[in-house]
Amino acid sequence: MTHFIYATDFDTQLRKRLRISGILLIVIGAIGILLPQAVSVVLSVLIASLLIVSGLVVAWSTWYSYRASWLAWLKPFILVLLGLLIALHPAVVAAVLGLLLLIYFLLDGFASVSLALDMRPLSGWGWLLFNGIVSLVLGVVFLVGWPFSSVWLVGVLVGISLMFDGVALLALAAGGQRV
C-alpha cells in the first residue's frame, strides 16, 4: 500500500516537530543558565561514566583475549582510573572545558576581527566585527576568572547555546519555507 504525503502535510508535521524541539531546547538551555554548576557536574559525571564503562569493556575484552599480558591491562586501568578521578573531582573537568572554551573564544575573536577588517568595504562587515569583539570579551572573561569561573561559566554558555538553538528552530517553524 502506497502512502502519499502532500507538501502541506509534510510542512505541518515538520513545523510541529521543529516547535516542540525548539521549546524543549529553550527549556533545557534555561535550566543550564539557572543551574550552571549542575550542568558542569552532569557533564563531568557523563564523561566519567563513559570512561569507566569503556574501561570495563576493554578489561572484559582483555580478560578473554590477552589476559597474560600486563601491557594489555594498562589501557583499561588508565580508563577506569581516569573515570574515577573525574567522578571524584568534577570541577577539574569544568576547568579543562573552561580552558578549551577560553582558547576557542580568543582564537575565534581574533579571526573574526581580522576577517571583518579585511572585508571592511563590504556591507555587513560590522556584524562580523561585533561578533569578533564579543568573542574576545568572552575569552577575556574566561581568562580573568579561570579556573574558578569555569564551574558556572561552562553551564551558562552551554545553556545560552541551547537556547539559541531552540530559538533558531522556532524561527524555522514560523518561517514559510520548507527546510
Q: Which tens digits make up the pLDDT trace of 102-158?
A: 888 889 889 888 988 988 877 777 887 887 888 888 788 878 887 777 778 878 877
Residue 148, classed as helix, strand or coil, is coil
pLDDT at 30: 93
Q: Which tens digits make up the pLDDT trace of 56-67?
A: 999 999 998 887
Asked if 22 and 167 touch (Cβ cutoff 8 Å), the reply is yes
- Nearest of 143, 53, 52 to residue 105 by alpha carbon: 143
Residue 40, Cβ density class (10 Å: 0-12 exposed, 13-18 middle, ≥19 buried): buried
Residue bearing the bigger pLDDT, 123 or 24: 24
| Report field, pTM of the whole predicted structure over 0.85 | no
